[in-house]
Amino acid sequence: MENKVLNKVGLIFENVDPKEVLTKAFNMSKDEVIQQVLDSGLKGRGGAGFPTGLKWKFTAAEKDPEKYIVCNADEGEPGTFKDREILDRVAYKVYGGMAIAGRTIGAKEGYVYLRGEYKFLLPKLMKELDDFHKMIDEIGYDFRIHYRLGSGAYICGEESALFESIEGFRGEPRNKPPYPTTSGVFSKPTSINNVETLVTVMMIIKDGAESYFKLGTKDSRGSKVFSISGDTPTPGIFELELGMSVQQFVDEFGDGDTKAVQVGGASGFCVPRKKFTETIIGFEGVPTGGSMKLFNSSRSMYNVLHNYLDFFTEESCGQCTPCRVGCQQLLKGVEKVKKGESKSTYLNELVKLAETMKIASKCGLGQSVGNAFRTIVENFREEIIY
Amino acid sequence: MYEVEDLVKDLSTKYGTGRSSLMPILQGIVEKHNYLSDEVMVEVAKTLDISAAEVYGTASFYTFLDTQVRGKYVIRVCKTITCSMKGKGEIMQVIEDMLKIRPGETTPDRMFSLLETNCIGWCHKAPAILINEIPYTELTPEKVVEILKSYMKTK
């Protein structure tokens, strides 16, 4: 396994001339743009990590004349706040990425779905969008972006739930297939990309796929914006090259007493101290949409797990039984074990339930509850029981 | 009742009367009145030519589209892990003491509602709250007192 040293990068927040980058992209053929994105090795930055170039290729191949590009700015994963910072500082690069995606896949319209919690940003973002629309009019490219606000539902960060919400329905995930590339928002072929992914595309077009490909490892190319919080002297946003170990990360951001790092938020994985050195942050180890929470030895991992389960119980859309009932039972279960009402071996049954939810749940929410549950219970069993 | 009709009419003129206009219209009403009354949901249903159950069904899915009476200022205290680790409890206690309400309640003068909410994306500046759409971060009990006082003055 490759292992990189911790390396701070400054691609995402670098100021560029958007007109120059867009002109460069528009002078390339659509296939060339797709090839550049494929060659860069870029995987979606929301957390799921689907190769962006492939997503565009599939959407571009659809025959329907009406297609959409959607920017997923419904950043709700506990511990993630990078998309807010990106939109606040370089929204024009998000819009630029959408325009490049739009031309590549054949979409004339785009939507930004912004979580309701970030509504305070909207006036500024709309003003910058006006300027952006003027700029692309000058280039002579016909493309428009619209804003849609969320209303406090974590599940709407799931792509098909997000489409339902834009269409004016309850944010309940759809069955897949069909995938968004064939049937997305308004049942039209849609490419839905994370805020950071779209900005990264701007930089890949500007600097070339090769220079991006040089960063990171075989499975995790490039750099990533991390949202760092918890027990750290330096909480905030940091862009780092992918491929470092959790140990290197903790050496830089820990407070000297880090006992666990939760990588990828409530739906991510808990890495205990004894596994810091062997665990790589990236798709070959622990994948993350950017959420990194550090816990020191003063923290109870029972409280952490309880907090996450409470979160999922509230945010499960309730549509499918494994997730709706599973979340509730996991929460009740750990409470019972803690109070001594159930034997500690009951935790094994709960881990089985979490595994069942992974197989049987309809969408990523229910499927990933088990990640945190299993890794916390396995590594901090005593803290859950006593 | 006339006021409700006018508001829904204004919003539907701005956003249209298709199904995809439902969310922006409901959000527009909440922005003005802080919650969705039964009357207003029926009016929206008429305007968009869908059943009132569809409107309620959609609204009740979303935490920020309240169907219960809320105050002029809705305070949402983040309870997710980092805020919870960094003093959310104290912040909540100060607000409860000042406003004499518990989470989920609204002051009798309908100025403030107090709610808990899930991660609002300010973990690096925890603890954090939202008052309507404005975030307040890196809070201390003293800071919260000052913030609430400033809102009380605007009565």
Query: Are A165 and B84 within 8 A, CB to CB?
Result: no
Select from A158, A169, A258, A324 the residue whose CB has the most chain B CBs within 10 Å, as the one to mutate to test that interface: A169
| List of chain B residues whose C-beta atoms are within 8 Å of the C-beta of residue A304 | 81
Please give the average per-residue pLDDT across A220-224, as a whole number. 94
Domain edge (last residue) among A213, A243, A267: A213
Cα–Cα distance for residue pair B70/B68, rounded to 1 Å: 6
CA closest to A166 among chain B residues: B20
Given the DSSP bridges, would you call strands A258-263 and A291-296 parallel, antiparallel or unpaired? Answer: antiparallel
Instruction: With respect to residue B51, please indicate whether it lies within any of the assigned structural domains.
Output: yes
Answer whether residue B147 is part of any domain.
Answer: yes
> For residue B49, what pLDDT is reported?
97
B155 confidence band (pLDDT: 50, 70, 90): low
Number of domains in chain B: 2
Task: Give domain status of residue A204, yes or no.
Answer: yes
| Chain A interface test: which of B25, B61, B83 (most A C-beta within 10 Å) | B61
Q: Angle formed by the axes of helices B38-48 and B52-59, to 10°?
A: 120
Whole-structure pTM value? 0.96
Confidence of residue B2 (pLDDT cuts 50, 70, 90): low
Bridge pairing between strands A223-230 and A236-241: antiparallel
Domain membership of residue B103 (yes or no) is: yes
Same domain, B85 and B149: yes
CB contact under 8 A, A168 and B23: yes
Residues of B in contact with A229 (CB under 8 A): 82, 123-124, 126
| Same domain? B51 vs B96 | no
Give the number of domains in chain A: 2
**pLDDT at residue number A54:** 97
In a domain, B55, yes or no: yes
Find the mean pLDDT for residues B71-86.
97
Chain centre to alpha carbon of residue B23: 15
> Are the beta carbons of B24 and A148 separated by less than 8 Å?
yes
Using alpha carbons only, how large is chain B's radius of gyration in Å?
17
Which domain range does residue A349 map to?
A: 301-385
Separation in Å, CA of A151 to nearest CA in chain B:
5
Residue B134 lies in a domain: yes
Within this chain, do residues A53 and A198 fall inside the same structural domain, yes or no? yes
HSE-CB for A246 with a 13 A CA cutoff = 28
Q: Which one of B44, B66, B84, B119 makes the best mutation probe of the A interface by having the most chain A beta carbons within 10 Å?
A: B119
User: Looking up tokens 């912040």, which residue turns up?
Assistant: B91
The two structure tokens encoding residue A234: 């330096």
- Residues A48 and A176 reside in one and the same domain: yes
Q: Hey, what's the torsion of the CAs at A84, A89, A94, A99, to 10 degrees?
A: 150
Mean pLDDT of all residues in A224-244? 96
How far does B132 lie from chain A, in Å, by closest CA? 9
Domain check: are B80 and B111 in the same one?
yes
Whole-angstrom Cα distance, residue A59 to residue A100?
13
Instruction: Output the pLDDT for position A182.
Output: 97
Same domain? For B77 and B30 the reply is no
Residue B47 corresponds to which tokens in the numbers above? Answer: 């305007």
Residue pointed to by tokens 């409530």: A266
Torsion of CA A197, A35, A110, A141, to 10 degrees: 130
A237 inside domain: no
Contacts of A158 in chain B (CB under 8 A): none
Determine the residue among A122, A307, A311, A312 to mutate to test chain B binding: the one whose Cβ has the most chain B Cβ atoms within 10 Å.
A307
Residue B68 forms part of a structural domain: no
Cβ A176 vs Cβ A170: under 8 Å: no
Q: Which residue carries 């400033």 as its tokens?
A: B150
**Which residue type is seen at A290?**
G
pLDDT tens for each residue of A64-98: 999 999 999 999 999 999 999 999 999 999 999 99
Q: Do B24 and A236 touch (CB under 8 A)?
A: no
- To the nearest whole number, what is the mean pLDDT of chain A? 96
The identity of residue A64, as a single letter, is: D
| pLDDT band, very low/low/confident/very high, at A13 (cuts 50, 70, 90) | very high
Mean pLDDT of A57-61: 98
SS percent in chain A: helix, strand, coil, step 5: 50, 15, 35
Asked if pLDDT for residue A346 goes beyond 80, the answer is yes
Alpha helices (runs of H) in A167-223, residue ranges in sequence order: 195-207, 209-213
Residues 79-108 of B with CB under 8 A from A: 79-82, 84-85
Q: Which structure tokens are listed for A9?
A: 């990068």
Residues B35 and B92 reside in one and the same domain: no
| CA dihedral sign, ordered A59, A171, A116, A187 | positive
Q: What percent of chain B has pLDDT over 70?
A: 98
- Give me the CATH number covering residue A185: 3.40.50.11540
CA B137 centroid distance within chain:
18
| B116 in any annotated domain | yes
Is there a single domain that holds both residue B33 and residue B92?
no
Q: pLDDT for B3-61, tens place per residue?
A: 889 999 999 999 999 999 999 999 999 999 999 999 999 999 999 999 999 999 999 99
What was the pLDDT predicted at A48?
Answer: 87
Domain annotation covers residue B67: no
Answer yes or no: is A12 within a domain. Answer: no
**Alpha-carbon dihedral A203, A209, A212, A217, rounded to 10 degrees:** 150
Asked if residues A67 and A190 have their Cβ atoms less than 8 Å apart, the reply is yes
Could you tell me if A207 and A312 lie in one domain? no
pLDDT for A171 equals 97
Residue A210 distance to chain B (closest CA, Å): 33
**ipTM of the complex, rounded to two decimals:** 0.96
Among residues A159, A188, A213, which one ends one of the domains?
A: A213
**A168, part of any domain:** yes
**Domain of B81: which CATH number?**
3.40.30.10
- Residue A5: per-residue pLDDT: 76
End-to-end Cα distance, chain B: 25
Of B18, B121, B130, the CB nearest to A81: B121
Look at chain B and count its residues: 155
**Residue-level pLDDT at A6:** 85
Domain that holds residue B119: 73-153
Other C-beta atoms within 10 Å of A299: how many? 19
Q: Inform me whether the pLDDT recorded for A2 exceeds 60.
A: no
Residue B1 has pLDDT above 70, yes or no: no
Q: What is the mean pLDDT of residues B109-133?
A: 97
Determine, yes or no, domain membership for A159: yes
